[in-house]
Amino acid sequence: MSAERFLEIELELNAHLRTLTFGQPVRYIYNPLEYAWPTHSAFVEKYCHGGQSVLFLGMNPGPFGMAQTGVPFGEVNVVRDWFGITGEVGHPPDEHPKRRITGLACTQSEVSGARFWGFFQELCGEPQNFFRHCYVHNLCPLMFMAESGKNLTPPELSVDERNTLLALCDISLCQAVEALGISMVVGVGRVAEQRARRALSAANIDVKVEGIMHPSPRNPQANKGWAKVAMATLEELGVLSLLRDQ
């Protein structure tokens, strides 16, 4: 039932997001919850279930991760080979010529996703050992690009557009946290952590919000050894014992 309700929440958010428009610097908008729905829903149905108490929360899709696979931090090799997800991935209505969607055939690795899931793969061995107590989600399902193909994060949008977008995403997050019975949200990166804390507090949802360093290669600290930092943080938060509780 958790997976079914979770997918309903995402479809409701999709319907609201379709009504939004964005001006400069945004030129292209990809929503993998639409064109990659088969692989996304397969992931949710396989790994989202009752009893998961920790939600790892990213901000929005990366161009070679979730944008290609429909899975948060979804580096192609991990999604295909570790998660065992298959399916056809379509195309956004307006596609940048340098940012083509090739789905599970994508040959470029998403560094953030490879670091994130590579860490848990080494720690947990099998996906089921991660998903027994944990789940992963992105606050916003949209990926934004400039005319050049440069990836734009939500903080780079105009203030009004960003506020309207994230207000809708906040509502969806709160619904998802309540539907799954989450007791701790771990924001991956400072922006996701702060947004989650604000949204859940405003909705009076009693859930602990913590943070973990983002594994992005744009983060110099992550390039010095993200796995070691992540391990220490998760130990401090008491999450490591859940992942080792096999």
**Number of alpha carbons in the 13 Å side-chain half-sphere of residue 186:** 22
Average pLDDT, the chain: 95
When mean pLDDT is compared across 54-58, 80-84, 142-146, 150-154, the lowest value belongs to 150-154
Q: Which residue has the higher pLDDT, 245 or 76?
A: 76
Q: 50 pLDDT exceeds 90? A: no
> Given the DSSP bridges, would you call strands 54-58 and 184-188 parallel, antiparallel or unpaired?
parallel
Residue 230's identity, in one-letter code, is: A
Q: 41 pLDDT exceeds 70? A: yes
What is the per-residue pLDDT for 218?
A: 87
Encode pLDDT of 139-176 as tens digits: 999 999 999 999 999 989 999 999 999 999 999 999 99
Alpha carbons 206 and 178: distance in angstroms, whole number: 10
**187 is written with which tokens?**
């924001």
Q: Is the dihedral of CA 192, 197, 201, 207 positive or negative?
A: positive
